[in-house]
Amino acid sequence: MQLGLIGLGKMGGNMRDRLRAAGHEVVGFDPRPEVTDVDSLASLAAALSAPRVVWVMVPSGDPTRGVVQALSEVLAPGDLVIDGGNSRYTDDAPNAALLDAKGIGYLDCGVSGGIWGKDNGYGLMAGGDAAHVELAMPIFDALRPEGPREEGFAHAGPVGAGHFSKMVHNGIEYGLMQAYAEGFELLSATDLVTDVPAVLQAWSRGTVVRSWLLDLLVLALKDDAKLAKLDDYVDDSGEGRWTIEEAITHAVPLPVISAALFARFASRQDSSPAMRAVAALRQQFGGHAVRAAGPAGAPGEHAGPSSGTGSTQS
């Protein structure tokens, strides 16, 4: 079938390739002339037969909202817009209402798979009306991995349910990554385990912890057995934050996912004001030695607690 596809970055570009390989006709739009198929959204609309299906794959927030607004002006009643980006689910109802006022349908679709999706397929979670899901099903089928449909696609619920599900997916992802990372650090902290990459690789099959993320960590360690080439600075792209905020709204305890998010925040601090405050307190009550700010001296090995001196007791 025909699909309009807006946003031809790493994700959108790969999806265009995968869809075309599956025999679909994709008309892509991107502001970058070297990748776009058409020169405007109007041209994109003109290039598609009604009812048009247009997939939006641009950064979440204002960019996506802007594209939806623009599409509401070039599409026609009966057409369908799918937001496949990482939008916050709360953007979906307003987007749907805006389009609905023009008779245009709306689906939100969480997409997982990263740069590997082009070859492996993408896991998909859609929110919206069943009729709209049915209309777009050939596209979903081409994007999702080989195998039973239900193992790579779900109609999660009404508008918003797709992005909500994707948000939770990413929250879980934070927790999983941190769990492997903590294990990696502990394995690396002992002299007893002499081949940490081999241990992780031996978990690839048969074990309880086998997973795709584990496979990726094994891959990363092939190149760099101690990950010494990397900085310990970890960004976040919003879904983990939204997951915690949603948990707060619903009074759901998320100790692990929140710990994973906070570890990322901490990883980006050059100096933690909180830990300076703890250092200040220890200095105040116990005369404990503290370090002045400045270029750190080499702290050397320091796994054990500081040997109490009897003089700095709390």
The DSSP line for 80-110 is EEEE-S---GGGHHHHHHHHHTTT-EEEEEE
80 close to 103: Cβ distance less than 8 angstroms: no
Number of residues that bind a copy of itself (CB under 8 A): 176
Contact between 40 and a copy of itself by CB under 8 A: the answer reads: no
Looking at residues 191 to 210 of the shown chain, list those that interact with a copy of itself (rule: CB under 8 A): 192-195, 198-199, 201-210
Of 34, 151, 173, 226, which residue is the catalytic one? 173
Instruction: Enter the tokens of residue 110.
Output: 């969480």
Taking the least distance from each CB to a copy of itself, the nearer of 74 and 179 is 179
Contact between 69 and a copy of itself by CB under 8 A: the answer reads: no
22 close to 140: Cβ distance less than 8 angstroms: no
Within 13 Å and on the Cβ side, how many CA atoms surround 192?
3
- Residue 166 falls in the annotated catalytic set: yes
The angle formed by the CA atoms of residues 114, 118 and 120, to the nearest 5 degrees, is 85
Taking the C-alpha atoms of residue 17 and residue 280, their distance in angstroms, rounded to an integer, is 57
Shortest reach from residue 184's CB to a copy of itself, in Å: 5
Contact between 181 and a copy of itself by CB under 8 A: the answer reads: yes
Contact between 70 and a copy of itself by CB under 8 A: the answer reads: no
Shortest reach from residue 253's CB to a copy of itself, in Å: 4
Phi, psi values for residue 175, rounded to 5°: -65, -45
Exactly one of 1, 2, 9, 36 binds a copy of itself (CB under 8 A); that residue is 9
Taking the C-alpha atoms of residue 288 and residue 310, their distance in angstroms, rounded to an integer, is 11
Looking at residues 249 to 278 of the shown chain, list those that interact with a copy of itself (rule: CB under 8 A): 249-278
Contact between 22 and a copy of itself by CB under 8 A: the answer reads: no
8-state DSSP, 225: T
Dihedral angle over CA of 134, 87, 114, 32, nearest 10 = 100
The angle formed by the CA atoms of residues 103, 109 and 115, to the nearest 5 degrees, is 140
Exactly one of 1, 74, 137, 177 binds a copy of itself (CB under 8 A); that residue is 177
Within 13 Å and on the Cβ side, how many CA atoms surround 257?
20
Find the part of the chain contacting a copy of itself (CB under 8 A) among 31-39, 70-78, 131-139, 166-174.
Answer: 166-174
Taking the least distance from each CB to a copy of itself, the nearer of 49 and 271 is 271
Exactly one of 12, 28, 105, 128 binds a copy of itself (CB under 8 A); that residue is 12
Looking at residues 83 to 142 of the shown chain, list those that interact with a copy of itself (rule: CB under 8 A): 85-86, 89, 111-117, 120-125, 127
In this structure, the strands spanning 25-29 and 123-127 are unpaired
**Nearest Cα residue to 140 out of 161, 155, 124, 164:** 124
Contact between 17 and a copy of itself by CB under 8 A: the answer reads: no
Of 10, 102, 150, 166, which residue is the catalytic one? 166
Find the part of the chain contacting a copy of itself (CB under 8 A) among 31-39, 47-55, 98-106, 168-176.
Answer: 168-176
Find the part of the chain contacting a copy of itself (CB under 8 A) among 70-78, 94-102, 129-137, 151-159.
Answer: 151-159
Taking the least distance from each CB to a copy of itself, the nearer of 49 and 146 is 146
Which residues carry out catalysis? 166, 173
